[in-house]
Structure 1
Amino acid sequence: MSKPFDMELFLAAVLTGSYATRQRHLRQAKIIQAEISERWQLETPWAWRRKHLTWFLEHRLAGRGAATRYYYLLTVRLLVRRLEKPWGFEHQARI
């Protein structure tokens, strides 16, 4: 039996800011992980592709407020930085 993926440990190297900001990023990253896991059965960010994060930003956040989309975009950028990928998401948030 394998251990569940620890998002807090995964993001520890790139999380900065106040305690509340770090907690928000962790909470949002876990929501992103759960949604991608449910849709594509990809349990860890190491298996994700750009299309998975684009799907989340475009489809799962549709109808949400601009501020919500912006904060999730910041979390996605943090995930991308941790994965060391060159993916950009500037236009995805529709802010």
Structure 2
Amino acid sequence: MSKPFDIELFLVGVLTGSQATQKRHLHQAKIIQAEIEVRWQRETPWSWQRKHLAWFLEHHLRQRSNATRYYYLLTVRLLVRRLETSWVFKS
């Protein structure tokens, strides 16, 4: 039995800002990870493709407010920075 992927350890190198901001990013990253795992059975960010994050932003957050979508976009940008990819998402 393997240990679950630790998204907090994954993001620790790119998290900046206040403790509240870091906590929000970690909470949102865990939600993103869980939704992608349910939809595509991709547990770790290393196995994600751009389409997985685009799906989350476009479809999973469809009924959310603009402010909520913006904060999730910031978290996605941190994930992309940590993955060292050049993926760009609309705001």
Give the TM-score band, short-chain normalised.
over 0.9
Equivalent residues in 2 for 1:39-54, closer than 5 Å? 39-54=39-54
| Alignment match, 2:83 | 83
Which residue is 1:68 aligned to? 68
Runs in 1 of length 4+ with deviation above 2 angstroms?
none
> What residue is the counterpart of 1:30 in the other structure?
30
> C-alpha deviations, 1:12-66, integer Å up to 9, x for none?
0000100000000000000000000000000000000000000000000001100
Structure 1 stretches lacking a partner, 5+ long: none
State the TM-score, normalizing by the size of structure 2: 0.98
Distance of 2:55 and 2:4 partners within structure 1: 23
Question: What is the number of equivalent residue pairs in this alignment?
Answer: 91
Question: 2:24 & 2:68 partners in 1: Cα distance?
Answer: 11
CA distance in 1, matches of 2:22, 2:33: 16
Q: What is the distance in 2 between the residues matched to 1:17 and 1:23? A: 10
Tell me, in whole angstroms, the C-alpha distance in 1 between the residues paired with 2:46 and 2:62. 25
Over the matched positions of the two proteins, sequence identity in percent amounts to 75
Q: 1:64 corresponds to which letter in structure 2?
A: R
Gaps of at least 5 residues in structure 2 are none
